[in-house]
């Protein structure tokens, strides 16, 4: 059963989507020149063929701002109309100010309250739920919810266990209160979230924070890069994403057969296929773009949603299941009626 903290709310609608992916492409063959790996290994184990890498002088907020501009254009509203910006990221421009404040400045959203959320790969759905709370209580009317990452800044390019998995990019949605109109398009019908800090050690960046500042002594062991127990993470990801999906559907009063399209976190094709199998749905019900981008953490779902939207794959009334899993561990799922 869904937990009390995941109760259903009404009347927040996605009215625009946008994304930005950096130009530079890093292929599996490129990686095989840096570490002992191969295109065949990476493709078979993960489904990833290439990923995008941000320019050195490109910060997370630069990508987030461009995704936000595109989402605003899609929604047909100005930056001044936005009164809340929530950025989900584990690769903020700096510890503070928040990346959301930099986005505000870059797009000119002068009327917005701005802050970041840290929930790793579940960050976008966490941010969506936080923004819904602000909107559904009447506190704010129009929010930009952004997932943006420059994961290349956290990668140890000597670690083949992790460097082949991740990439950079940003995605954004505009959400707005849907007033009395209960069948408004893009309506978020339900969101469930969960966390288990007991498993924090399985996927983390141990250094660079207050627990382990980077010093001249520890810098060479690269504690400020991604450390992951891949097999364990894989198992928990499948279990939690299935549970969250079922809970979000139940909360929305829907069944698995009602799903038109799954927009899953893009970490590993085998994880996504295992989820589809457990839900009893064909693999082609899941939107896939990890072959092009790898795992961009908080950005995967809004980027996939935007690509599905722009490709004309989303029709009015479609039921979308959004589902994510990430470090923490954290997980979340949302059902959206397009």
Ligand X SMILES: CC(C)(COP(=O)(O)OP(=O)(O)OC[C@H]1O[C@@H](n2cnc3c(N)ncnc32)[C@H](O)[C@@H]1OP(=O)(O)O)[C@@H](O)C(=O)NCCC(=O)NCCS
CB of 157 to ligand X, least distance (A): 12
- What secondary structure does DSSP assign to 294-314, as a single string? -B-GGGHHHHHHHHHHHTT--
Dihedral sign, Cα of residue 295, residue 296, residue 300, residue 303: negative
Contacts of 276 (CB under 8 A, 6+ apart): 262, 282, 283, 285, 286
90 binds ligand X (CB under 6 A): no
Stretch that binds ligand X, among 41-49, 173-181, 189-197, 254-262 (CB under 6 A): 41-49
12 binds ligand X (CB under 6 A): no
CB of 325 to ligand X, least distance (A): 5
Cβ count near 279 (within 10 Å) = 20
231 binds ligand X (CB under 6 A): yes
Q: Could you confirm whether 236 is annotated as catalytic?
A: no
Q: Do 276 and 282 form a contact (C-beta atoms < 8 A)?
A: yes
What is the distance between the alpha carbons of residues 135 and 271, in angstroms, rounded to a whole number?
33
331 binds ligand X (CB under 6 A): no
Burial class from Cβ neighbours inside 10 Å (0-12, 13-18, 19+) for residue 185 reads: middle
Stretch that binds ligand X, among 2-10, 57-65, 184-192, 225-233 (CB under 6 A): 225-233
Stretch that binds ligand X, among 4-12, 109-117, 133-141, 156-164 (CB under 6 A): 156-164
Phi (first) and psi of residue 118, to 5 degrees: -115, 100
Residue closer to ligand X (CB basis): 13 or 162: 162
118 binds ligand X (CB under 6 A): no
Between vectors from CA 152 to CA 149 and to CA 154, what angle results, nearest 5°?
90
266 binds ligand X (CB under 6 A): no
Say which of 227, 265, 268, 309 is annotated catalytic.
Answer: 265
Stretch that binds ligand X, among 135-143, 173-181, 207-215, 228-236 (CB under 6 A): 228-236
Selected binder of ligand X within 12, 13, 46, 330 (CB under 6 A): 46
CB of 189 to ligand X, least distance (A): 24
3-state helix, strand, coil in the chain (%, to 5): 40, 25, 35
Selected binder of ligand X within 144, 205, 267, 322 (CB under 6 A): 267
Q: Do 334 and 147 form a contact (C-beta atoms < 8 A)?
A: no
**97 cis-preceded (ω within 30 degrees of 0):** yes
CB of 111 to ligand X, least distance (A): 34
* Residues annotated as catalytic (active site), given as ranges: 121, 265, 295
Binding site for ligand X (CB under 6 A): 37, 41-42, 45-46, 121, 160-161, 164, 228, 230-231, 233-234, 237, 267-268, 271, 295, 325-326
């Amino acid at each position: 059963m869904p937990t009390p903290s995941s109760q259903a709310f009404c009347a927040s609608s996605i009215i625009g989507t946008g994304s930005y992916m950096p130009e530079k492409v890093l292929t599996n063959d490129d990686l095989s020149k840096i570490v002992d790996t191969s295109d065949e290994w990476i493709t078979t184990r993960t489904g990833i063929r290439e990923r995008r890498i941000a320019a050195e002088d490109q910060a997370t907020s630069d990508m987030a701002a461009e995704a936000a501009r595109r989402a605003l254009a899609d929604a047909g509203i100005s930056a001044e109309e936005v009164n809340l910006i929530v950025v989900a990221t584990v690769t903020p421009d700096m510890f503070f100010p928040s990346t959301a404040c930099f986005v505000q400045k870059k797009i000119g959203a002068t009327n917005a309250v701005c802050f970041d959320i840290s929930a790793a790969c579940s960050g976008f759905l966490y941010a969506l739920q936080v923004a819904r709370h602000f909107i559904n209580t009447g506190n704010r009317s129009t929010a930009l919810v952004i997932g943006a990452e420059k994961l290349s800044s956290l990668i140890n390019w000597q670690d083949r266990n992790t460097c082949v998995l991740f990439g950079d990019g940003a995605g954004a949605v505009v959400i707005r209160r849907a007033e009395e109109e209960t069948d408004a398009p893009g309506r978020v019908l339900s969101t469930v979230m969960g966390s288990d800090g007991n498993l924090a050690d399985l996927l983390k960046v141990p250094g660079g924070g207050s627990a382990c500042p980077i010093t001249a002594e520890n810098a060479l062991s690269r504690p400020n890069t991604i450390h992951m127990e891949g097999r364990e993470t894989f198992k928990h990801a499948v279990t939690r994403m299935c549970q969250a999906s079922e809970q979000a559907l139940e909360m929305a009063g829907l069944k698995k057969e009602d799903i038109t399209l799954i927009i899953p976190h893009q970490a590993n094709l085998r994880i996504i296929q295992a989820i589809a199998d457990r839900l009893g749905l064909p693999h082609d019900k899941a939107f896939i773009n990890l072959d092009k981008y790898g795992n961009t953490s908080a950005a995967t779902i809004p980027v996939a949603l935007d690509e599905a939207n722009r490709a004309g794959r989303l029709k009015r009334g479609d039921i979308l299941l959004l589902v994510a899993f990430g470090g923490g561990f954290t997980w979340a799922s949302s059902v959206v009626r397009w």
